[in-house]
Structure 1
C-alpha cells in the first residue's frame, strides 16, 4: 500500500453514529475451519444525528455473506451494497431488526484479530476493530449494545463455552450430533470491542470473592490442563485487585462471575472484555519453578490492570479511538498505585520512571511522536503506544498531585457516577475532576493535545544577606512534532532543600517538601529564612514527565545520593553521578584520552550503602545499579553504541574491583534464599543477583565458577535465569552447553523457552546475529506465535543495541527481512517490530543511511499492510 492509498482519520471529523443498536443477539455454530455466525440486531436511528434518511453502513472484513433479512424479510440485492470493508443497507426505516448470517474461518486468521484458533481453542480479540472480522456491525466504541450470545459446538472438542456477562440456564445444553450449547447474557451495554468468546477443552481453577456489599462473585481462571498448577498466583492477584479497588476507588464488581482465560497466541498482554478477560499466557501462568520474581509481579499488575478496566474502560468507555488514553492512561495509573501498595512504593516508582524515560521519551523525541490524545491516525493499532499508556498515566498522576488524594478521589467518584454506561472523552474526565473540586484545569488540558517531552531548565540563587533562596524555571518543548508553537504547560514540581549536613529544611511549617506549580514559560519561587545555601532536591517522586536540566556540581549530586530523604531523588542523584562519569568515559574513548577515575566520594557512597544494608533490599539494589545502556543512549545527541558499551563496562569494572570483597560477602550472605515469593525473599534475590552481575564484570575463573554453580543448583527460575543471562555474554563455546542443558530441562514449558530464546537474542557475543538467525530455524520457533517472535526478533531489535546497530547494517537488514515476512502473517506484530527502525536520526550518518535504506525497502514492498506502511512512512518523512 502506498502512502497515497492510506486513509487518514481525523479527530476533527468525528460525527455521532447515524444509527445505534439497542440489542445484539449472536448465535455461533463453532468450528475451527468454518464457523457460522447469525446476528440479530435491533437498530434505530440516532436522535442526535441530524442527517436526513442516512444509509446504514456496517463494517466487516474477511466475511462470507450467507443471508440478510430486515424485519424477517430477505433483503433483495438492490437494497444493499457489499464490498470487502462494508455492508450498506439503503434507505432503512427509523427502527428495524437486521438479521445477518455469515461464515468465518478461525484457523486461517493469523492476524489474531476477531475469532481465531489458538492451539486447540477458539478465542477472540476485538479491540480495536476486530469485531468486524466476526460479523458486520457498527464497530465503533460509541455504539453500545446489550449482548446475548448462544454458542453451539462439538462437546468433545469444545466442552467449555464462554462469553461475556452471566450464564443463562445450564452451562451445557445437550443437542443432537454430539453437540452442546451455552447461553450468555451481559446486562451492561458495551461496545463491540469488549465482546469476547472462548471455546475449548480447558481446565478451571475456581474460587469466589465477597464484595463490600456482601455479594458473592464466582471467580474462574481457565487454562490448558497441563498449566492448571500455575494459576494460584493469578487467582490471588485477582482477589487482591478486587479488594484494593473497593478500598482505594470505591469500585465494586457488578456481574455474578469474573473469568480469566490464558491464550498462547495473543498480540497484546491481555484484554479487559466485560467479565471475560482474555490473557496472554505470559501474564497468567506462574509457579516458583517456571516464573521469575519479575514474572510474578507482572502477572499481578496485568491482572489488576484488566480488572480495574471494569470501571475505567468498560462501565465508562471511550467515545472514539482518539480517546484511548482515557481508559488506558487512567487504568495504568490505577495499576501502578495497586502494585506500589502490594510491593514497594519507592521501587515501583523508580521502575516506572526508568521505563518511561528510556522508551517513552525516545518515542516522544522521534518521528512517531504524538500527543496522548492524537489528532489523526491511519491504523489505530499503531497507537497502542507508550505515550498513550505510560505518559497518559503520568498526566493522570499530575492531576492526583495537584488535587491531593482526597480531591482526586472526589473527582473520580463524580466521573464514574456522571458517565456510567456512557462513551466519553478525555475532556469529560478532566471536567469531572474540575467540577468535584471547584478547580480550573483549562491550561492543564494542553497535556492531552501537545506532543513531545517538555524540558525544564532550573537556575538557583542564594542571597546571604536576606537569607533568601530563589529557584527559577524555564520550560520549553523542542519535540520534532509537526505541531505549531506549543503553549506553556501546567507542571507540578515537588521540591525540597538540604543543608550541608543533609538535613531537610522546613519550607512550610513542618513540611520539608512542597509542590510548585509552573504555569508560565519562565517562573521563579523564593524561599525565606534560609540560613545557608542549600542543595536543591527538585522533581521529587518524578512529579511531572519532563526532562530536568539543572547545574549541580558532582559534589552536590553525591550529597543528594547520600542524604536525600525522597527515595526517588536519592536514586536519581546516584544515577546522575554514574551517568556523568560514563559520559566522561565515552568522551575520553572517542578522543583517545585517558579514562577519568571515579571519585573516592562516589565509591565511598557505594561502600557505605553496602556496609549498612537498608531495610528495603529491593530499593538498595536499585540504588547500586548502573544506568541502563538504553537510558544513556536516549540522552546522547548522537549515539555511539560501541563507545557506550565500552564506557559502561569500564565503570562497572571499577565499582566491581573497588568493592569486590563487599559484593562477594553480600552475594554469599543472600545466596541461599528459598524459592518463596514473599517480599523479603524477592528482595534478597534481587540484591544477590546484582552482586553477581558486578562480580562477573571482573571476568575471573572464581566468579565464573560461582555463576555456573548458581545456574546448576538454582531452586527457582529467578536465580537460574540470572546466572544464565551472565553466561550468555561469555564469548566462548562453554555457554552453549548451559543453554542446551536449560533447553532440555524446560523444553515443555513454552514461557520458559521464550526466556531461553530471548537470552540468546540479547547476547553480546561476537556471533550473536548468526545465533539469532539460527534460532529462527529452531523447531520451537513459530512466526505465527507473537510471544515467540517477540522473544527472538523483537528481543534482538529492542534489547541488543550492540548487534542490532552493527556498523555493517546486518542487524537492520535481518529485522527488515522479518518485518516483510511477518506483515503477511500478522500486521500488528510486524508494525511493532518496525518501530525499532524509527530512531534513525539518533545515529551517525553511516547508520542513518543503512536504516533508511531498509525502511525504503519495506516501503516499496507490495503488498504492504497499512499497519506497517504508516509506521514506515512516518519514520521516513519525519
Structure 2
C-alpha cells in the first residue's frame, strides 16, 4: 500500500499573514545536544489579515520549554503546543511581545536543516523552512523582521561567533564561555537567518563602495585551509565591483562574512551578511581544484553576493515566486561570469546545462512552470526550471525590450520594491513601465510548463530572389496542463551569402526595429517573414545566441551546417552547427546498428573541424566546446521515446573513435602544443588552453587506445595541476587495465584526507561505463571514506553513478535502479532533501524502452511504498509515477 502524497499548497489559496513580526530578539546558548533558544517576538495584527484569527506559529520537531506573553506565563488553556505548531488562542488586539523558549539538538540534526553541527562548527540552513526547526515562528517569506541575535558558546569550542548584519557587542562570561551580539538593520524573512559558531581560520579583505563606505570582508574556513580561500575572496571583490557597475547596487552593511562548511545540502546560502557555503565552492588550489572548480567558485560566490539585492533587500512574497530571486540572480551571475571570462564559451556552457537538466525536467512527470501553481514539498522546487529557465526568461525580456529599457526597469524594481516581499507581477510591471510595452503575453512563460518546439520552414524563390521563413510553435502537454498557449519569444537570426558575408535583412513583414536588431518576435502560433533582394539562396542562421529556451527543428541540411560552422559570426550557432552534425551522425549510426541504414559519411564534418582547429585565430576554449560531442543525456533527450542507452553509447563511441582516428595527427600536435608550462593560473585564457588539450587527449584515446593510454600516463605523472591530472585519470579510467588500477591507487594515496579531491576519486569511478561498475559502486559504499552523512560524498558516488553513467544506471537487469532505491530508502530518514534529489534521477523513466521502463517503474513503486516516507521523497515518487 502506497503512502498518501503530501498535501498540496496552492498559489490560488495565498492569504496575507494574520500577524506581522516587527522585531526578533534571539538569545541562543550553543550546546552540542541541548542548545537553548529564547526568542522574543514583537507581534501585531496584520491589517490585511483576518481580524479574529488565533496566532499559529510553525514548528518542526520542537519541544516547548516556556512561553510568556508580555512577560507573563500563559495558562495551559491559553495555548496549544505541538512539535509542528504553537497556537495562542486569543492573542491581544494591540501589539504584544511573545517569549518562546525551545531546546534543539544540533548533533542529532542529520537533515542539515535548521541548526546543526558540521565538523567542529555549529551552523544553520533555514531556506526554505528550516527556521521552524529552531523556534516557533511565522516561517514564511512575506513576514519581514529586524533581527538582533545574541550567541553564547564555550569559548574553547567556538571562539568564532557570527550572525546576520553588523557586530554590536562581544565579551567573556564566567565558566569559559563568551558571547557576541549581531544586529541586522534590514527587515528580512526567517529563511535568511543564520549563525555560525566554531573554531575557524579566516582570511580578511576590504572593499570600498562607490559612495566611499568601507566594508570588512572575511572568509572563514577550517584551520590550515586559509590559503585555499584566496580565489573566493578575489571573486567576492570582483562581484562587488561588478554589481556596482552593471546594476548600480552597493553593499549596505559594515561587514560581509562567508563561512565554508563540509556538510551542506545545497551549494551555498545568501543569508544577509553571513553567506554559508558548501566548502567545494570556496576552497581551491592548483593542486586540488580543476578549472571548472575555479569557475564554479567564481559563479557561486557571485550568485550569493548578488542575492543581497535580488533575494534579500527584495525577497519573494511566497515560495511560488522563488524564480523571482533565483532565476533573476542566476541571470546576474551568468552575466558576471560572461564579463569575467569568454562570453561565447559561457553562453554555450549555460545552454548545455539548460538542455541537460531543465529540458529533461520539462519533458517528464516532474515538469512544472517557472512559477508553479502548487507544490507539496517546497524543497523539491529548487529545480533547473526555477533557476536556469527562470534566467532564460529574464534574458528574453532583455532581448525583447532592449538594454536601456531593461536597465531602467531594474532600477525601478530596486527603487519601488526595496524592503518588500514581491511577486512576478510586481517585477514585470517595472519593465512594462520602462519600455512602454504590454508584457501580459510574455508573462505566460512563468505559468506554462514545457519546452516549446518551433518548426522553421523555408522556401526559396529564385525568380523573386526571396526567402520565406515560416515559424510555427507548439508546446507538448505536461502534467496538469494539456492545453498550451502560444508564447511570446525573440528569434534572433541572420542571413549569409556563400562567401560568409552577412546580408541585409530586407522585408515588408518585419518591423524596422526587428530588422535592425536581427530579432523576429514570434507571438502567435505561426508567423511568416519574407526576406527580399537576396543575390542567391542564403544560409540561414537561426536562434542566434540561443535567444529563446526552445527546441528548434529541423536542423539545416549538412551543407548549411558546415557553412555555419565555418563562418557564422555568432559563436553559439557555430557550436550548434557542430552539435547538429554530430547528432545527425550518431542517430544515423543508431539506425545502422539496428539494421535500418548505413554508417554515415562524415568527411565534410571532419574537414570542417580540421579547418577550425587549423585557423590562426582559433580560440582554444571555443574549439574545445566544438570538439565535445553531445552527451548520452543529450542523445536520450533528442530521441524522446523508447530510449536504449546501450545503443546510444555504442553509436556515440563509434563517432568518437572515428573522429579521434581521423584527426589524430592534429590532435596530437594540439596536445603537445598546449602542454602546461610555468605557474598555474585559473584565468579564462589559460583554462581554455588546458580544456582544448584535454579534449584532444580524450579523442586521441578514443581513436587509438594504446597511444592515448601512453599520453595519459605521461600526463598523469607530469601534471602540475589538478585539471591536467584529473583529465589524464579520466582517460585512463576509460582505458581500463593495469594503468587505470595503478593510477587510481596513486591518486587516492596522494590525496587521502582531502575530502573534496577524494570526492573526485569516487565520482570518476562511478562513471566508468563498464558492467562491473555497479558492483564497484556497492563496494565503494563500504569504503572507510564513504558516508551517507555527507551530502557531497553521496552526490560524488551515488549521484555521479545515476546521472553520469547512463549505460550502467539503466542496466537491463535493473541493478542500477535497485541500487538507487536502496540508497534512497536508507537515506530518507536521515536526510530527506538529498534522498529526494537522488530519486529525481528516475524522472525520465517513461522515455525508456519497455523493459527498462518496467524495471524503473517497479523501483519507483517500491520507494513510494516505503514505510514512514518523508514528504520530500514521497512527493518525488508520487509525481514521477503520476499519482
- TM-score by length of structure 2 reads 0.98
**Cα separation, partners in 2 of 1:213 and 1:133, compared to 1, 3 Å:** same
Is the Cα–Cα contact under 8 Å of residues 453 and 546 in structure 1 kept in the other structure? yes
Alignment of 1:103-502 (within 5 A): 103-170=103-170, 173-502=171-500
Distance 1:819 1:596 in 2: 43
Is the Cα–Cα contact under 8 Å of residues 499 and 534 in structure 1 kept in the other structure? yes
**Equivalent in the alignment of 1:785:** 790
Is the Cα–Cα contact under 8 Å of residues 453 and 479 in structure 1 kept in the other structure? no
Alignment of 1:470-619 (within 5 A): 470-507=468-505, 514-550=518-554, 552-591=556-595, 594-598=598-602, 600-619=603-622
Q: Give the SS at the match of 2:729.
A: helix
**Cα separation, partners in 2 of 1:512 and 1:693, compared to 1, 3 Å:** farther
1:60 aligns with 2:59: yes
Distance 2:872 2:96 in 1: 36
* CA positional deviation for 1:592: 6.8
1:620 aligns with 2:623: yes
2:661 pairs with one of 657, 660, 665: 657
1:775 pairs with one of 768, 777, 780: 780
Is the Cα–Cα contact under 8 Å of residues 3 and 870 in structure 1 kept in the other structure? no
Distance 2:120 2:553 in 1: 55
**Equivalent in the alignment of 2:706:** 701
**Equivalent in the alignment of 1:37:** 37
Distance 2:736 2:673 in 1: 30
Is the Cα–Cα contact under 8 Å of residues 31 and 153 in structure 1 kept in the other structure? yes
Distance 1:274 1:686 in 2: 36
* CA positional deviation for 1:169: 2.6
Distance 1:106 1:226 in 2: 25
* CA positional deviation for 1:633: 1.3
Is the Cα–Cα contact under 8 Å of residues 407 and 436 in structure 1 kept in the other structure? yes
1:259-279 Cα distance to aligned partner (Å, 9 max, x none): 100010000000000000000
Q: Give the SS at the match of 2:389.
A: helix
Distance 2:720 2:306 in 1: 34
Distance 1:613 1:815 in 2: 49
Is the Cα–Cα contact under 8 Å of residues 63 and 82 in structure 2 kept in the other structure? no
1:352-389 Cα distance to aligned partner (Å, 9 max, x none): 00111122111000000000000001100000000000
Distance 2:318 2:33 in 1: 33
Distance 1:691 1:699 in 2: 12
Alignment of 1:63-78 (within 5 A): 63-78=62-77
Distance 1:438 1:861 in 2: 54
* CA positional deviation for 1:5: 5.6
**Equivalent in the alignment of 1:92:** 91
Q: Give the SS at the match of 1:177.
A: helix
Distance 1:364 1:169 in 2: 50
Distance 2:686 2:843 in 1: 40
Distance 1:679 1:408 in 2: 28
Distance 2:616 2:235 in 1: 30
* CA positional deviation for 1:7: 1.1
* CA positional deviation for 1:4: 3.3
Distance 1:332 1:672 in 2: 32
* CA positional deviation for 1:2: 5.1
* CA positional deviation for 1:706: 1.4
1:115-144 Cα distance to aligned partner (Å, 9 max, x none): 000011000000000000000000000000
* CA positional deviation for 1:465: 2.8
Unaligned runs of 5+ in 1: none
* CA positional deviation for 1:736: 1.6
* CA positional deviation for 1:681: 1.8
Alignment of 1:1-40 (within 5 A): 4=4, 6-40=6-40
Is the Cα–Cα contact under 8 Å of residues 588 and 598 in structure 2 kept in the other structure? no
Dislocated runs of 4+, deviation >4 Å? 508-513
**Cα separation, partners in 2 of 1:419 and 1:853, compared to 1, 3 Å:** same
1:442-471 Cα distance to aligned partner (Å, 9 max, x none): 100000000000101111122233332221
1:804-843 Cα distance to aligned partner (Å, 9 max, x none): 0000000100011000011011000000001011211111
Distance 1:123 1:718 in 2: 32
**Equivalent in the alignment of 1:759:** 764
Number of aligned positions between the proteins: 874
* CA positional deviation for 1:605: 0.7
Distance 1:98 1:616 in 2: 63
Distance 2:517 2:501 in 1: 12
Q: Give the SS at the match of 1:569.
A: helix
Q: Give the SS at the match of 1:168.
A: strand
* CA positional deviation for 1:668: 0.5
Distance 1:479 1:441 in 2: 24
Alignment of 1:702-741 (within 5 A): 702-741=707-746
1:748 pairs with one of 747, 750, 753: 753
1:470-526 Cα distance to aligned partner (Å, 9 max, x none): 211111011333214111110100010111122111226997860100110011112
**Equivalent in the alignment of 2:80:** 81
Q: Give the SS at the match of 1:387.
A: helix
Q: Give the SS at the match of 1:798.
A: helix
Distance 2:596 2:453 in 1: 32
Deviates more, 1:124-133 or 1:82-91: 82-91
Distance 1:425 1:613 in 2: 50
1:663-689 Cα distance to aligned partner (Å, 9 max, x none): 111111111334222332211111110
* CA positional deviation for 1:532: 1.3
* CA positional deviation for 1:430: 0.8
2:860 pairs with one of 855, 861, 871: 855
Is the Cα–Cα contact under 8 Å of residues 613 and 620 in structure 1 kept in the other structure? no
**Cα separation, partners in 2 of 1:327 and 1:389, compared to 1, 3 Å:** same
Distance 1:187 1:593 in 2: 69
Distance 1:5 1:835 in 2: 16
1:870 aligns with 2:872: no
Distance 2:318 2:812 in 1: 43
1:230-281 Cα distance to aligned partner (Å, 9 max, x none): 0100000000000000000000000000010001000000000000000000
Distance 1:613 1:654 in 2: 25
Q: Give the SS at the match of 1:665.
A: helix
Distance 1:632 1:764 in 2: 16
Distance 1:5 1:801 in 2: 29
**Equivalent in the alignment of 1:843:** 848
Deviates more, 1:506-515 or 1:133-142: 506-515
Distance 1:538 1:328 in 2: 29
Distance 1:703 1:480 in 2: 45
Distance 2:2 2:833 in 1: 18
Distance 1:871 1:283 in 2: 27
* CA positional deviation for 1:616: 2.2
RMSD over aligned Cα atoms: 1.4
Q: Give the SS at the match of 1:412.
A: helix
Is the Cα–Cα contact under 8 Å of residues 805 and 811 in structure 1 kept in the other structure? yes
1:610-646 Cα distance to aligned partner (Å, 9 max, x none): 2225342101111222112211111013212111111
* CA positional deviation for 1:750: 0.7
Is the Cα–Cα contact under 8 Å of residues 60 and 84 in structure 1 kept in the other structure? yes
**Equivalent in the alignment of 1:804:** 809
Distance 1:459 1:157 in 2: 69
1:202-231 Cα distance to aligned partner (Å, 9 max, x none): 011001001000111000000011211101
